[in-house]
Amino acid sequence: MVRYFLWILPCLFALSGVGQKANYKQAERFLNLESLVGSTSVLPNVLKGTDKFWYKYETKDGIRYYFVDPKAGLNRELFNRKELAGEISRVTHKPVNYKDIKLSGFSLEEKGKVLQFTSEGVRFKYDLRTNALERVISDTTKKNPKTPVKPAKTIKYDGKLSPDSNYTVYAKNHNLYLFSLKDSVETQLTTDGRTGYSYAPKTADSTKKVIPDITWFGDSRFFYAEREDKRKMEELYLVNTLGTGRPTLQKYKFAMPGDEHVQQNELHVFDISIKKEVKLDVEKWKDQKLSVYSVGRPAKRLYFTRKKRTCDEMELCRVIPETGEVKVLINEVCEPYFNDQLFKFHVLKDGEEILWWSERTGHGHWYRYDGEGNLKNVVTSGGWTSGKIVRIDTTGQTIYFEAYGQDKEGVSPYYARLNKVRFDGKGGVKILTPEQATHKTNFLFGGKYFVDNYSRADLEPRSVIRNTDGKVVVELASPDLSRLYETGWRMPEPFSVKAADGSTDLFGYMWKPADFDSTKTYPIISYVYPGPQTEGVPLEFSVSTGFNNAALAQVGFIVVTFGHRGGSPLRDRWYHTYGYGNLRDYPLADDKYGIEQLADRYPFIDKSRVGIFGHSGGGFMSTAAICTYPDFYTAAVSSAGNHDNNIYNIWWGETHHGIKEAKATKPVTKKKAKAPEDVKDSTKSTIENVKFEKPNIPTNIELAKNLKGHLLLVAGDADNNVHPANTFRMADALIKAGKNFDMLILPGQNHGYRGVSLDFFKRKIWFHFAKHLLGDYSTDQFTEIDEYMRLGSN
């Protein structure tokens, strides 16, 4: 009977496609291909006072230097590399590789006709008209080349110097001190500074004078300081297991969802004329998040935003230091939470106008207010999303900004394209970079031209210069990917599927083995990240998306990644807040349904062999998926997963799952400071009477009993982001449920794995899926991980 079973098992493997040999040799070739790519974008080094620039670009033929003049439509290589290398070598008496010349310190001289630069410590000038190169010999060198030039004498001050150079401010013993340079008088400004509640930088020696993080106003009368208070916050602990001697304990402050004591942010303004602090009515909501912004250098105006701990209400306020008045300019409610990834505001014309980003219509758009917080007009609108502002042209009353999803339904909405629009919104929005790709733009001096680097996961990078109408005026260098393609590497293939609701479009990419055969069937593996602040879908060209999806595919898999409801904030508010209040289950049905659609669409996908993997939120999602749909997912790799979001960070849990505000059972009778008349608000909370109900976020631990497939849990034991306790608790739940699983702990690794541990982890992903999706257990035979390479040649 045993013999019969052993005989029939390979037959079953053969019939089902299981028992395939893993192609580790090909996967290894794909592990580190970045070195074959070289440059993929142009970084302009602007020549001072002009829109001309130089840049260097690397291909398999080495590094080349280019000079660009947008107005003349000129992009040309700066010089003959061999001749330049020979000249540098002749002058410096050093060997120079013409394919790797090191140049720096570029400047444009003689009315833009001569370019100067330094190489090997020698200054050269290059005539752009004649291509003549010669060494620069300064007057000092001519007169007496051995006489060193004396540096200008500089005066060193303790602390931060005021704009009028009359005062400095420094921190000592955690407090702030004002020092008059005129009469050498020191005045202590604060007395409440102490460890954990200090005006000094975190790592500074409190007994010495140190430069504090303060900002002076331009009139030298006022300065402001920000301070945070973490004294009552609870600590987390890690054990440093590496090194010599005893393992050591590492402690750090870490707030979790529902904690009673969280970080408090403060703003302090000081008046030098009276040598005292100006009292500000900054606090409105208990445990509010405070962000401070100044306008001008040095500061002319001071603003801050305060946001409720419930993340659904925010105000923009202006501070008037002369009176201590805090004036509310904009109050906005956005349920269930504000989009932290795209929210921004800009103060124009020294405070006369404000550009404010809001999702009030369901899509993120820009709005213009006057300096007193009155809405003047809608700047952008429509069924698409406005993103960050790249440039503000106050003279031309025009903003240049990124935007997403401006095309028809069914087209990926994730690509950032540059647009322009007038402040008043009249004339509409114009798309300046029409290609469906992620555009990264950089305006040149003067604002008439911008460098546009754009690409897509399935589109080779391209770099051009455009004018402010979007017209391409100069083509720049492009990458040479020929060596990359010679390895068998191919770009991923785009696809779209429907979400589990049957109507929402989801977009993603697919990687195939280099030796793909459409007549065969392959297991499918989904690389996941649940969001809500981003998705795992690549938005620009990359050789190794994720933990190198291309290499994983070479083992013998179809690898996919795609979005899901509750993912990217680049879409509308409904999409990215879909998972609110359900921080575990929201992406799972979409991943399963998307894979089912792909399997129905492509006969080479075997939906009886499904894998799933991810890191961080993706590790959390992969474990949740295999335990929620145990008959669908066969294997999962779960790395650094936040399996219990009740012990993960406060921002993640409270923003995306929610926290409720409640009244304290025993109100505190502490007297509240009276607010200025113009900030009175009938809805203002009594801060001292507020508490927050600790949320109860569903955890993966609750699902442990459902596991049927093959789960590999991975964590770094030095992870101070997603504490390894998340993984240990998951493992404990699986043990108590009597489940078989694998676990890998990477010593000394933080949340982002590095070095040999990262490559080790990538290979363990290959081995885990090869065993449980291909039926290839051959790696279990070896004691050294490198021996798997021999398998590919057998």
Q: What is the mean pLDDT of residues 484-504?
A: 97
| Cα separation, 34 vs 631, whole angstroms | 38
Q: What is the mean pLDDT of residues 255-278?
A: 96
Q: Quickly list DSSP for 264-304.
A: EEEEEEEETTTTEEEP-----STT-EEEEEEETTTBSEEEE
Q: Report the alpha-carbon angle 654-712-256, nearest 5.
A: 15
> Length of the chain in residues, anyone?
794
pLDDT of residue 153: 56
Q: Report the alpha-carbon angle 408-490-402, nearest 5.
A: 35
Can you say whether residue 226 is alpha, beta or left, with left for phi > 0 and alpha for psi between -120 and 50 degrees? beta
Phi, psi at residue 24, to the nearest 5°? -65, -30
pLDDT of residue 152: 56
According to DSSP, residue 694 is labeled: P
pLDDT of residue 148: 56
Structure tokens at 605: 């996908």
Could you tell me which of 756, 775, 713, 757 has the C-alpha nearest to residue 557?
775
* Residue 683 binned pLDDT confidence (cut-offs 50, 70, 90): very low
Sheet containing 133-135: give its strands across. 104-109, 114-119, 122-127, 133-135
- Whether the per-residue pLDDT at 111 is higher than 70: the answer is yes
Going from the C-alpha of 15 to that of each of 20, 451, 611, the distances in angstroms are: 11, 55, 20
Report which of residues 457 and 48 the model is more confident about.
457
pLDDT of residue 676: 42
Cβ pair 457, 492 in contact under 8 A: yes
- Whether the per-residue pLDDT at 684 is higher than 80: the answer is no
Least confident of 29-33, 219-223, 253-257, 388-392: 29-33
| Cα separation, 313 vs 307, whole angstroms | 6
Distant-in-sequence, close-in-space partners of 49: CB < 8 Å, separation ≥ 6? 445
Distant-in-sequence, close-in-space partners of 465: CB < 8 Å, separation ≥ 6? 68, 70, 75, 444, 449, 450, 451, 452, 472, 473, 474, 476
Please give the model's pTM, rounded to 2 decimal places: 0.91
Q: Report the alpha-carbon angle 403-405-406, nearest 5.
A: 80
> What rounded mean pLDDT belongs to the chain?
91
pLDDT of residue 781: 73
* pLDDT per position as a tens digit, 750-792: 999 999 999 999 999 999 999 999 999 998 876 676 665 555 4
Q: What is the mean pLDDT of residues 82-93?
A: 89
- Whether the per-residue pLDDT at 282 is higher than 80: the answer is yes
Q: How many CB atoms lie within 10 A of CB 781?
A: 9
pLDDT of residue 663: 77
* pLDDT per position as a tens digit, 369-407: 999 999 999 999 999 999 999 999 999 999 999 999 998
| Strand pairing category for 214-216 and 313-320 | unpaired
Peptide bond into 532 cis (omega under 30): yes
| Cα separation, 384 vs 363, whole angstroms | 6
* pLDDT per position as a tens digit, 691-749: 999 999 999 999 999 999 999 999 999 999 999 999 999 999 999 999 999 999 999 99
| Strand pairing category for 605-615 and 522-527 | parallel
Q: What is the mean pLDDT of residues 670-688?
A: 49
* Residue 18 binned pLDDT confidence (cut-offs 50, 70, 90): low
Cβ pair 712, 730 in contact under 8 A: no
pLDDT of residue 723: 98
Q: What is the mean pLDDT of residues 470-482?
A: 97
Distant-in-sequence, close-in-space partners of 497: CB < 8 Å, separation ≥ 6? 505, 506, 508, 562, 593, 594, 597, 598
| Cα separation, 730 vs 713, whole angstroms | 9
- Domains along the chain? 17-36+485-653+699-793 (3.40.50.1820), 45-140 (no CATH)
Instruction: Determine what percent of the chain is predicted with pLDDT higher than 70.
Output: 90
pLDDT of residue 19: 63
